[in-house]
């Protein structure tokens, strides 16, 4: 059984420091800088998502970026 925090999640989005450029749900986009914080704020404030996971995402033994998974 899922913890209550996750019970009503119907859609999940994944954002990261390098590849995320556009919101999945609207026309919001960031094309420069370090957009992950802007996307996290955007998904929370504009679409009502909550953070399910945030942390490093590594490739092999080299940590290359930060990822966040948000759900609603």
Residue 62, φ and ψ in degrees, nearest 5: -115, 115
CB of 3 to Zn ion, least distance (A): 26
Cα separation of 68 and 11, whole Å? 14
Contact between 25 and Zn ion by CB under 5 A: the answer reads yes
Residue 38, φ and ψ in degrees, nearest 5: -65, -40
Contact between 41 and Zn ion by CB under 5 A: the answer reads no
Among 12, 26, 51, 65, binds Zn ion (CB under 5 A): 26
Query: Interacting stretch for Zn ion, rule CB under 5 A, among 7-15, 22-30, 31-39, 57-65?
Result: 22-30
Provide the strand spans (E) within 7-61. Answer: 12-16, 50-59
Contact between 51 and Zn ion by CB under 5 A: the answer reads no
The residue whose Cβ lies closest to Zn ion is 23
Cα separation of 55 and 16, whole Å? 10
Binding site for Zn ion (CB under 5 A): 23, 25-26, 28
């Amino acid at each position: 059984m899922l913890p209550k925090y996750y019970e009503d999640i119907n859609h999940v989005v994944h954002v990261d420091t390098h590849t995320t450029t556009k919101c999945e749900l609207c026309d919001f986009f960031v094309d420069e800088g370090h957009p992950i914080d802007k996307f996290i704020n955007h998904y929370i404030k504009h679409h009502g998502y909550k953070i399910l996971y945030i942390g490093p995402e590594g490739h092999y033994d080299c940590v290359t970026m930060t990822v966040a998974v948000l759900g609603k």
